[in-house]
Structure 1
Amino acid sequence: MLTMFRLRTRALRPWGQSRLVRSVSSSATPPLIRIQDATFYETYPTPEDEAKGRNPPLFPHLNFVLPSKATPSTEGGEESLQHWAVIGSSGRTQFLEILRGQYLCLPPTARSYPYLLTDEIAKKDPRLRFSGNAIQYIGFSGEGSGAIGGTRGAYLSARYESLREETDWTVRQYLRGQTSLNPLEEEKEGNVHNEKFLSEVVTELRLEELLDMPVANLSNGQTRRTRIAKALLSKPELLLLDDPFMGLDPATVRSISDLLHRLATKSDPRLVLSLRAQDPLPDWITHLMVLGNSNRVLLQGPRSHAEYVFDVWSNVAKVAHTRRKDDEYREMFQQAKDDMAAGYLDRQLLWDLGLLSHDAKEVELPPPRGGEPLIEMDGVRVQYGDKPVLGDWTQKVRGEKQDGLHWTVRRGQRWVILGANGSGKTTLLSLITSDHPQAYALPIKLFGRSRLPEAGKPGISIFELQSRIGHSSPEIHAFFPRQLTIRQAIESAFAETFVAKPTLDHERDLDVSAVLRFFKAELDPNAIVTLKEPPPKVLPDRSQFPKTARALRWPYIPLDYDIEYADSTTFGQLSTTQQRLILFLRAVVHKPDIVILDEPFSGMSGSLRDKCIHFLELGEQVGNKPSTATRRAGYKGEWLRGFNSDDSSSSSSSSSSSSSSSSSSSSSSPSIRHHGLSDDQALIMISHVREEIPDSVRHYMRLPSAAHKGDNTALDFRFGSLKYTSTLNDPKIWDLAWSPAEKFKKKARRSFRRTEGSETEKLDEEVYEWYSF
């Protein structure tokens, strides 16, 4: 079961980090991993690194011990296993990489794997003496075909086509290791010989019905479950799982958490999880490490110790006076204040951990009626052979039951599509974007036209669709070219393909520059240095005009000097979180009629997620107009502040001639280029995390899914609108959205709206059977 932290009211004795290391080191069995006073670097450090702001130290003077066997509990009880979770907004992936032997360690002997050198490991499997075999890492970065084990198709639409290549391995072949074109005789049956264990893993991860399906055809959540199963079958000594619950529906999260708990209890394998601060923490986690900004370890130790420290942090953030005046508490209180002053600990991390609360004012958000229809589906059904994938249900349309999906999306509406992994959410979006071949044959109209020509109407071309639809998804992330610079990646929104030449003009250049400036702190690799530097002043070259050399000697500030990073940094050099940010900006920068966001904020920190939601709703506006993010948090944090060049602009105008001032801008401050989604745009998004859904989303669709092994997780098809005061961020509303059919029907009500001189012939509430909750 998964729960969020609940702080205990009684004071707990703090557990020192050095005491933890000493207690583990004194045990008879050597630890699996021992790190003592180590500092890590990407490359070997040089004296010039600090001056140039490059190659910073990672986790300076790090101490960490992962025991190989059960150890005594913190309160002197019986021995128990340690189950670790690494929590933080950034640096978690780097820490897991350090555990498996990546990055340069100084001194070299500070990182060791004593347990791998024992006779016990030699008897079990001599290959496990090498840390690369004994420790496996699984991340869901979305970087190319490696994101799903090298089994991705050759192009975006390949997963939907009937043509199968020799290398389109099924899930069964992938799990067994039968992925060689010319295998040796002993490799034909794969490398998995424990059929009982294989069956158990397949059952727990809900893969039974997927065994004969090509891996390239799997949905995002199904792919993640398959990769976890593949790693478990290799039976490593330690399995590092980076965001294991990302992109999974609630029922699958509970199932995988229970499976991981059973495996961790048997130490087969040992587990270390990496979680975001806002993610629910499994009950079976016993030890925590919390990472702050700049790769700083803020705490590590038993869970009880973490709860004690969280209580201290909460009081520091609230500037609360406490009656506890013991020396240990005062020392931790002062350390937390110092960390906040240095920027290692911030309010956003405390907010994500649930240590700060704010009672947001209840706001009425009526669902917009919408304008002209942008998407019309009348009986859509997708199936492969005899297997239906989408539309295998009946709906009431104008009071009559009809087969398939009947749905209309209008201008100004904001929709979220909910459903279990494999329920057809991504398939539905692929029909809208025409990535799915069946989009040409199904009763679908986009912008009032079908894909194929009709009587008196030409068909809508794929290039027109791409220009009017903004799309961000894990599939695009996997295929997006890594060699493009940041600016080129965002400008590709104005092109027909990823690498085609974009159609740009001055206004579009300004739009791209505006988003690069607003998100400079998140995208510029040297933002810490460049944000503090004054704007450069350059003397004009007047060698060709000697008579004006003396008269015009004023320096000028180069245009777009603050976003030059976007022309030198490539997409492949960015972190996974930054890449997702680029794809999000690419989907909205050209202000398309339809914005489609498929899990756009997966893996993002809470601060970056909130900034993206704010930009989606209000753009660059940071005034008194509230957004979802500011309304939830109750304050305007640092995450909201984009790079503001007001000061540089004013200094430029004062030091430049009047002619240059008039040519730079029509006003004294830069104009806002982006104001968020307009009433003429529609939004369709997919997410399994309630915090990622903006409050402006007022319409929902829930796709059906079957129950698993008799549990009560079956969902039926529903769609409609939210009540005026309901938001999907509310835990009660979110749970109701995922509740079984009987419970949902008891709590929800049929949607009706009185017609007052209707703008259309019939309102959607009258045409379809909508439910509100």
Structure 2
Amino acid sequence: MNTPLVDINRISAVIQGQQVLSDISIQINTGGHWAVIGKSGSGKSVLLKAIAGKQGITAGSITNNFKPSADKHTAEPLTSQRVALIESRHHFKNFSNTSDFYYQQRYNSSDSEDAMTVEQYLSAILAHITEDHYWTLEKAVDRLRLTDLYQKQLIKLSNGETKRLRIAAALVKNPSLLLLDQPLTGLDVNSRQYFNTLLQEIADSGITIVMATSPHEIPDMIQTVAVLQDGKLVQTLNPAEIKAHEFEWASSVPDVDEAEIESLLSLTENPTFEWIIKMNNVNVRYGDIQVLHNVNWQVKQGERWALLGHNGAGKSTLLSLAYGDNPQAYANDIILFDKKRGTGESIWDIKRKCGFVSPELYQFFPMDNSCLQVIESGFYDTLGLFRMSEPSRAAIALRWMKVFNIEKYARHLLKNIPASAQRLCLLARALVKNPTLLILDEPCQGMDDQQQQLFKHLVDTICSKSNITLIYVTHYQHEIPNAVDHYIHLKKGEVAQVESISR
């Protein structure tokens, strides 16, 4: 009998007094590729971290049988050498490797110069690798389609581009075991289809893969599917059985408290505007790279837009202009809330009227506030609460937590709750002040089917009971709320199509 690559024997784990893994046993054989599925908060991410040695266990054992590296100069532990874990949040540092990036750094040219380029980042990894492997730097860059991004700074990558870079960075290390937490999150349709082929090549190169994913996105090379529920391994299936299997979290449609939502919306009266957004021949350029080219876009109050386009099409840059973050707005003809940019309004005047959530905000949001404080900070448009909590506003924040079914996390630090619940906290933060404009950039990332249905129903309810203006970005057609009545498609920084739907 072959010795397993990783032998997980009855492990348990506790975080902040909560049991998150309980009595899990799995044998991962070389070339035996696993998918781990389950409801959000079921323990998928924690299990991957435990396998990678980044999460302590309170019972059981994890035995690795990796071959030592041929690089005798490395001081890394064997697990760090042979296991690559790609989590939902990246940990990029600035050029001097002394501090993390911050949210608005990508839009400020002087500060963004402190960020490595894709080439510098990958070359720095390769500098510590002396073995001759299948996944050379050239091959990883080619397969992950990074050639055109080679001179782009990390801070300016889109969410999907960042995902591809992190996978390439893992591959050039040629690990024995590749752990992927929701790897398709943030990838457009073509990239997701290509990723299936890429994973097969990774598997054929001798790397064993374990991935946390949705039951709807299990790649062809997966051989075994582990189903987690409340931190326990409840089923082991083969991929063919998944399609015919009904999972509770995928089939039940959650209720939305429409009366409570209407009550919360009534707490604030929004002003009236003719133009929420009006952009005339807008151009954005970073050095030699043209990100937006002659974009024209008009959004009137009460309209609900879906903003669509491939990874790197310019969607996030367009939103940064609408939300006031991008200083290149002053060099363009842009009207926000009936005022032309550059005529005296401040960035805070704009943000006061907006609720906003995006993958980039999630990546850079400080994690050391309680969840209730995070949501209350939405009243002040700050990344965390930097003042004494106001009881009346904290009460409203808690009411929104109950709408999202996350009130149990109110006193927990944001960093100590599941990634899906973290994202729901940021969504509640965007809604807490009943904004005039709600910008939702890939809001359902990391959510299970039930949470996605809840959120979609919630957005439709808000739209039906208010005059809120909505901009919604997604790579998944089924996530688009029914309330959406306008579409704008970007392609390589240009408006490819604008359409309206009569209802």
Deviation at 1:490, TM superposition (A): 1.4
Counterpart for residue 134 of structure 1: 82
Counterpart for residue 364 of structure 2: 479
| Cα deviation code 1:529-576 (max 9, x no counterpart) | xxxxxxxxxxxxxxxxxxxxxxxxxxxxxxxxxxxxx3x322233222
Given that 1:39 and 1:57 are in contact with CA atoms closer than 8 Å, whether structure 2 keeps it comes out as: no
CA distance in 2, matches of 1:385, 1:106: 52
Answering whether residue 19 of structure 2 is matched by residue 56 of structure 1, we say yes
| Cα deviation code 1:261-284 (max 9, x no counterpart) | 1110221x211121023x322222
Given that 1:153 and 1:216 are in contact with CA atoms closer than 8 Å, whether structure 2 keeps it comes out as: no
Taking a change above 3 Å as real, the CA distance of residues 166 and 590 of structure 1, as seen in their structure-2 partners, is: closer
Counterpart for residue 581 of structure 1: 424
CA distance in 2, matches of 1:475, 1:148: 19
Answering whether residue 54 of structure 2 is matched by residue 111 of structure 1, we say no
Name the SS of the counterpart of 1:101 in structure 2: coil
Counterpart for residue 45 of structure 2: 93
For 2:34, give the aligned amino acid.
W
Selected match of 1:171 from 118, 126, 142? 118
Selected match of 1:214 from 134, 137, 153? 153
- How many residues end up aligned between the 2 structures? 479
Answering whether residue 219 of structure 2 is matched by residue 282 of structure 1, we say yes
Name the SS of the counterpart of 2:483 in structure 1: coil
For 2:435, give the aligned amino acid.
P
Counterpart for residue 347 of structure 1: 248
Answering whether residue 334 of structure 2 is matched by residue 444 of structure 1, we say yes
| Cα deviation code 1:411-461 (max 9, x no counterpart) | 1111111111111100000001121111112100011111222xxxxx322
Superposed counterparts of 1:21-100, under 5 Å:
27=1, 29-36=2-9, 38-42=10-14, 54-56=17-19, 58-60=21-23, 62-68=24-30, 81-89=31-39, 90-100=42-52
Given that 2:14 and 2:57 are in contact with CA atoms closer than 8 Å, whether structure 1 keeps it comes out as: no
Aligned alpha-carbon RMSD (Å): 3.2
Name the SS of the counterpart of 2:425 in structure 1: helix
CA distance in 1, matches of 2:96, 2:161: 13
CA distance in 2, matches of 1:262, 1:289: 22
Counterpart for residue 486 of structure 2: 699
CA distance in 2, matches of 1:415, 1:148: 37
Taking a change above 3 Å as real, the CA distance of residues 720 and 163 of structure 1, as seen in their structure-2 partners, is: same
Selected match of 2:351 from 444, 466, 479? 466
Taking a change above 3 Å as real, the CA distance of residues 584 and 164 of structure 1, as seen in their structure-2 partners, is: closer
Q: Bigger shift: 91-100 or 193-202?
A: 193-202
Counterpart for residue 199 of structure 1: 138
Taking a change above 3 Å as real, the CA distance of residues 613 and 419 of structure 1, as seen in their structure-2 partners, is: same
Name the SS of the counterpart of 2:184 in structure 1: coil
Deviation at 1:173, TM superposition (A): 0.9
Name the SS of the counterpart of 1:470 in structure 2: strand
Given that 1:492 and 1:502 are in contact with CA atoms closer than 8 Å, whether structure 2 keeps it comes out as: no
For 2:26, give the aligned amino acid.
F
Q: Bigger shift: 203-212 or 254-263?
A: 254-263
Answering whether residue 497 of structure 2 is matched by residue 497 of structure 1, we say no
Q: Which runs of 5 or more residues in structure 2 are unaligned? A: 254-271
Superposed counterparts of 1:308-319, under 5 Å:
311=244, 314=246
Deviation at 1:162, TM superposition (A): 2.4
Taking a change above 3 Å as real, the CA distance of residues 509 and 240 of structure 1, as seen in their structure-2 partners, is: closer
Given that 1:411 and 1:679 are in contact with CA atoms closer than 8 Å, whether structure 2 keeps it comes out as: no
Given that 1:84 and 1:286 are in contact with CA atoms closer than 8 Å, whether structure 2 keeps it comes out as: yes
CA distance in 1, matches of 2:431, 2:353: 11
Given that 2:304 and 2:471 are in contact with CA atoms closer than 8 Å, whether structure 1 keeps it comes out as: yes
Answering whether residue 104 of structure 2 is matched by residue 157 of structure 1, we say yes
Answering whether residue 232 of structure 2 is matched by residue 296 of structure 1, we say yes
Taking a change above 3 Å as real, the CA distance of residues 375 and 504 of structure 1, as seen in their structure-2 partners, is: farther
Deviation at 1:692, TM superposition (A): 2.3
Given that 2:83 and 2:175 are in contact with CA atoms closer than 8 Å, whether structure 1 keeps it comes out as: yes
Answering whether residue 301 of structure 2 is matched by residue 411 of structure 1, we say yes
Answering whether residue 408 of structure 2 is matched by residue 524 of structure 1, we say yes
Answering whether residue 400 of structure 2 is matched by residue 515 of structure 1, we say yes
Deviation at 1:509, TM superposition (A): 5.1
Name the SS of the counterpart of 2:445 in structure 1: coil
CA distance in 2, matches of 1:255, 1:504: 49
CA distance in 2, matches of 1:151, 1:219: 23
For 1:297, give the aligned amino acid.
L
CA distance in 2, matches of 1:474, 1:437: 20
For 1:595, give the aligned amino acid.
L
Deviation at 1:504, TM superposition (A): 5.8
Name the SS of the counterpart of 1:718 in structure 2: strand
Answering whether residue 501 of structure 2 is matched by residue 600 of structure 1, we say no
Structure with a larger share of its residues in strand: 2
Counterpart for residue 210 of structure 2: 272
Taking a change above 3 Å as real, the CA distance of residues 266 and 295 of structure 1, as seen in their structure-2 partners, is: same
Deviation at 1:287, TM superposition (A): 1.7
Deviation at 1:616, TM superposition (A): 2.2
CA distance in 2, matches of 1:581, 1:677: 21
Counterpart for residue 680 of structure 1: 467
Deviation at 1:193, TM superposition (A): 7.5
For 1:440, give the aligned amino acid.
Y
For 1:204, give the aligned amino acid.
R
Name the SS of the counterpart of 2:339 in structure 1: coil
Counterpart for residue 721 of structure 1: 500
| Cα deviation code 1:272-309 (max 9, x no counterpart) | 121023x32222222211222x12222214335x35xx
Counterpart for residue 289 of structure 2: 387
- Percent of matched pairs sharing the same residue: 30
Deviation at 1:131, TM superposition (A): 2.1
Taking a change above 3 Å as real, the CA distance of residues 701 and 192 of structure 1, as seen in their structure-2 partners, is: farther
Taking a change above 3 Å as real, the CA distance of residues 510 and 105 of structure 1, as seen in their structure-2 partners, is: closer
Name the SS of the counterpart of 2:201 in structure 1: helix
Selected match of 1:244 from 183, 195, 212? 183
Given that 1:240 and 1:273 are in contact with CA atoms closer than 8 Å, whether structure 2 keeps it comes out as: yes
Given that 1:148 and 1:223 are in contact with CA atoms closer than 8 Å, whether structure 2 keeps it comes out as: no
Deviation at 1:153, TM superposition (A): 6.4
Name the SS of the counterpart of 1:41 in structure 2: strand
Taking a change above 3 Å as real, the CA distance of residues 146 and 295 of structure 1, as seen in their structure-2 partners, is: farther
Deviation at 1:166, TM superposition (A): 6.7
CA distance in 2, matches of 1:473, 1:700: 19
| Cα deviation code 1:622-644 (max 9, x no counterpart) | xxxxxxxxxxxxxxxxxxxxxxx
Selected match of 1:376 from 253, 266, 278? 278
Deviation at 1:102, TM superposition (A): 4.7
Name the SS of the counterpart of 1:427 in structure 2: helix
Taking a change above 3 Å as real, the CA distance of residues 148 and 229 of structure 1, as seen in their structure-2 partners, is: farther
Taking a change above 3 Å as real, the CA distance of residues 152 and 237 of structure 1, as seen in their structure-2 partners, is: same
Taking a change above 3 Å as real, the CA distance of residues 254 and 192 of structure 1, as seen in their structure-2 partners, is: farther
Superposed counterparts of 1:629-708, under 5 Å:
678-705=465-492
Taking a change above 3 Å as real, the CA distance of residues 518 and 147 of structure 1, as seen in their structure-2 partners, is: farther
Alignment TM-score, normalising by the size of structure 2: 0.86
For 2:235, give the aligned amino acid.
L
Q: Rg: which structure is higher?
A: 1
Given that 2:188 and 2:475 are in contact with CA atoms closer than 8 Å, whether structure 1 keeps it comes out as: yes
CA distance in 2, matches of 1:721, 1:172: 42
Deviation at 1:32, TM superposition (A): 0.3
For 1:704, give the aligned amino acid.
K
Taking a change above 3 Å as real, the CA distance of residues 94 and 123 of structure 1, as seen in their structure-2 partners, is: closer
Given that 2:68 and 2:78 are in contact with CA atoms closer than 8 Å, whether structure 1 keeps it comes out as: no
Deviation at 1:523, TM superposition (A): 4.1
Taking a change above 3 Å as real, the CA distance of residues 599 and 418 of structure 1, as seen in their structure-2 partners, is: same
Name the SS of the counterpart of 1:56 in structure 2: strand
Given that 1:495 and 1:502 are in contact with CA atoms closer than 8 Å, whether structure 2 keeps it comes out as: no
Deviation at 1:57, TM superposition (A): 6.2
Alignment TM-score, normalising by the size of structure 1: 0.57
CA distance in 2, matches of 1:270, 1:720: 45
